[in-house]
Structure 1
């Protein structure tokens, strides 16, 4: 059965935004409570941003590993329940914070997780010890390199790996073995962290499956330069002899920025990926699909062509388009994984080649209602122009909230929106939610901030702003039974609840959309 076989809806909320007592949301009680709310509200999808360890700026789209889990999301109270921590260990760290406090969350985990690892090593029963050993053996292909990389980052003050001593930078085998032995204790602790993360993740996924909730993940198209992936696979990226990027990723000027966006991620050396039959990509996507039921491919347009910017450029305007082997990559992924439950994030500068690539591979794209009112009647984001092969959003993590967006419009723009929606000003945000749910698009996703009617103070990310992002947290107790019943009623009327889900319509217009 395909995840795209019937009309569905869900909510977008990152793990970091859940209420929890250790500085950041986690996979514990509040995550389980959110699953309960989704079920009560008639939703069948929970969309989550990338779950990998983050670096400077805390962006989930700039991870230091595409395989590892973010230890900040480990449920500390769950470790108490497992016996790896005592309540007296964690009690001093419990505190309420209105916004995600990454520094506090890191200090907390740096204190408690090594303690938990030592207690596990000394006291865990044979069964749990064997479970850890099996995990390390099964995941050795990425785990051994990641834990060494992370231990070395800590040792060298989080300097980028291209600034490490030459023997480590260039991965000379004798030097690597010397440091593995030297850092053995810390490496064992980091392996325990990953074991715990994925053990808790599977518990969360099992709980979601019991409630018929699909987990909707996110696959960033690019990898951070300061990552275990680039350090271990330099030949797969366009780096110079010292390991520094020659060209970097970004996008040309667009809706979000007049100078474009300079992301700084190294671009792929596609020729090497082709020569290796996309082995790294096969492993990456296979693991991701083992964690999620469906996955958004961030910046899908880079699979058709990417914006290549000289590494020393001050902004993105000096870049140029370079072709990418999207068809060959998707063919390799289909051979590896079978059906590809992927959603193409096809926003920004979308040219015909991007549209054709998505349609050839029968992947749904995205439609953002906030983008619907700034051009003429052919605007593809207008509800009447939606197609079945679409995932409909009021906005994404990169947009302002609906209320913030509405309040930021000038008088002329507001009149245009009101003229199209034919509602009063006080009803605009509610009407956008209704339009998302009633759309012909196969999936509808609402950011929780829009469901709650929150303003710009609840915005998750402002693209191009280097700091102050990713900190919004869900106020405890705001997802009430009354709100769940209201959303359930709206969702049921639109044929998106479990009891009313309509099969995906197949018409001549939409016959290209079907399970791959």
Structure 2
């Protein structure tokens, strides 16, 4: 059962790593230590899946495989699999202000491949086959998929030669023999990804910190999941998407958002008793303590767009699996700690689904100041079974929002927080970000979570993502060793004050 707690949202990639990106190394353990000193019980991250074009953690080549960028390379140094000289270029990349994914891809994989070549001579190499057997439901196919992507220069599987697209058994059998070295390389990557993540998660749990993971509702059109199970998705006879995902026009986007993920064929999935979804949820709870399901409203109804359309304007609502899916999940996996990301346009049907599931929904403080005191995102209106944020990875930082907000919203924000916190309005005006965070901690929400950028009082230069844009996203990282004494003291005070 969820308890009244609080924590910080910070993705692994944004940690202060040494080799171009945050990873499972020293800085991750130091962050857990900071959480403990701050009396925080929650560390929320974004999806850990392997990323592709666009670098989005919500567009992964697999619903199960982890991101090799997060593997701690210092362990390979200690094992003698690589040398210091192998890391020179990655250290140079690390000097850049933002994550440079293009250079990272080239240089990281050089190091990872060398580590694998030397690992074959180690006694631990024998563990790979055991690991593959343990994850046999998905790992072998994933490793083959990635090996074939390399063979075909990274293009989408829909552009592979026909025999590979339609998974001709004889062709795949010969490919497995030809690509055995490459296949085992990807198994090696997943082995160390999971081994290191398990160690880090166990460290967090021993320090009374729970990990909140994130599961995207959709999978990438170019993924092993769509390649091996095309019948579960809305493809035509030529294995081209018929319908893709997105969301309709709203106040933030006149054309809506065109995500491009091929949509599920829920009728086929239901006929399997949702077995793929059961496997996916089960695996998530092997990795995380709590799971946030992205775009929860899409299980009630989803915006269906023709794959030929250039915008999301002409889409239409289609009915999803509804509570039936979550009843089956509960029947097969028991009661699970799930957060429903129920942001966006909520109909009575969506609200009914959320209530039937019993999962806590989400509220965003930034959305609370555009109307009046009845706004459901304001702390005084937030119900207990809710997770509240100053903002998420898709929003501006709170300071960025405040500085760009219309004057009447700024005034309302300060007046509201002053009254809610029983503070002088000048104190709120002098520090609106920390006043906003304190308001979340005071609220009735079961979880109160703040992006780390807000604790650092950063502006939109540190924003993680601007939805429906490609490039310049997901690349914010901490570039220095931070002095966090003031942050820790602030969090300790409000956590004790409001009983989190």
Bin for the TM-score computed over the shorter chain: over 0.9
After superposition, the CA RMSD in angstroms is 1.2
Paired position in structure 1 for 2:109: 110
User: Is the aligned partner of 1:433 residue 2:429?
Assistant: no
Structure 2: how far apart are the matches of 1:364 and 1:440? 12
Structure 2: how far apart are the matches of 1:15 and 1:336? 31
Structure 2: how far apart are the matches of 1:59 and 1:311? 20
Shift of 1:413: 2.4
Paired position in structure 2 for 1:216: 212
Deviations 1:494-515 (A, max 9, x none): 111xxxxxxxxxxxxxxxxxxx
Paired position in structure 2 for 1:414: 410
User: Is the aligned partner of 1:161 residue 2:168?
Assistant: no
Paired position in structure 2 for 1:302: 298
Q: After the TM superposition, which residues 49-60 of structure 1 pair with which residues of structure 2 at under 5 Å, given as runs?
A: 49-60=46-57
Deviations 1:426-463 (A, max 9, x none): 22212111111111000000000001100110111111
Structure 1: how far apart are the matches of 2:244 and 2:53? 17
User: Is the aligned partner of 1:481 residue 2:485?
Assistant: yes
Q: After the TM superposition, which residues 42-441 of structure 1 pair with which residues of structure 2 at under 5 Å, given as runs?
A: 42-95=39-92, 96-122=95-121, 124-125=122-123, 128-422=124-418, 423-424=425-426, 425-441=429-445
In structure 1, which of residues 16, 20, 29 is the aligned counterpart of residue 17 of structure 2? Answer: 20
User: Is the aligned partner of 1:472 residue 2:472?
Assistant: no
Paired position in structure 2 for 1:506: none
3-state secondary structure, aligned to 1:317: coil
User: Is the aligned partner of 1:490 residue 2:494?
Assistant: yes
Structure 1: how far apart are the matches of 2:435 and 2:207? 28
Deviations 1:40-83 (A, max 9, x none): 11100100000001111101111110000000111111211233
State whether residues 255 and 348 of structure 1, in contact with CA within 8 Å, keep that contact through their aligned partners in structure 2.
no
Structure 2: how far apart are the matches of 1:475 and 1:111? 24
Structure 2: how far apart are the matches of 1:482 and 1:317? 47
State whether residues 11 and 45 of structure 2, in contact with CA within 8 Å, keep that contact through their aligned partners in structure 1.
yes
Structure 1: how far apart are the matches of 2:386 and 2:64? 28
3-state secondary structure, aligned to 2:431: helix
Structure 2: how far apart are the matches of 1:68 and 1:151? 14
Deviations 1:333-385 (A, max 9, x none): 11221112100001011111111111111100001000001123321101111
Structure 1: how far apart are the matches of 2:408 and 2:66? 46
Paired position in structure 2 for 1:511: none
Paired position in structure 1 for 2:422: none
User: Is the aligned partner of 1:454 residue 2:458?
Assistant: yes
3-state secondary structure, aligned to 1:415: helix
Shift of 1:479: 4.4
CA 1:467–1:243 in 2, change beyond 3 Å: closer, same or farther?
A: same
Structure 1: how far apart are the matches of 2:445 and 2:265? 36
- Unpaired runs of 5+ in structure 1? 497-516
Shift of 1:92: 4.6
3-state secondary structure, aligned to 1:61: coil
Deviations 1:289-345 (A, max 9, x none): 110000100000001000101111121111111111121111111122111210000
Structure 2: how far apart are the matches of 1:241 and 1:274? 21
State whether residues 37 and 479 of structure 1, in contact with CA within 8 Å, keep that contact through their aligned partners in structure 2.
no
TM-score by length of 2: 0.96
State whether residues 238 and 247 of structure 1, in contact with CA within 8 Å, keep that contact through their aligned partners in structure 2.
yes
3-state secondary structure, aligned to 1:94: helix
3-state secondary structure, aligned to 2:283: helix
3-state secondary structure, aligned to 1:57: coil
Aligned length: 490
Paired position in structure 2 for 1:510: none
Shift of 1:190: 1.1
Shift of 1:91: 4.0
Structure 2: how far apart are the matches of 1:81 and 1:249? 45
Structure 2: how far apart are the matches of 1:118 and 1:142? 24
State whether residues 257 and 464 of structure 1, in contact with CA within 8 Å, keep that contact through their aligned partners in structure 2.
no
Structure 2: how far apart are the matches of 1:43 and 1:83? 36
Structure 1: how far apart are the matches of 2:251 and 2:133? 46
Deviations 1:194-213 (A, max 9, x none): 11111111111111111111
Structure 2: how far apart are the matches of 1:198 and 1:186? 19
Structure 2: how far apart are the matches of 1:292 and 1:441? 21
State whether residues 90 and 104 of structure 2, in contact with CA within 8 Å, keep that contact through their aligned partners in structure 1.
no
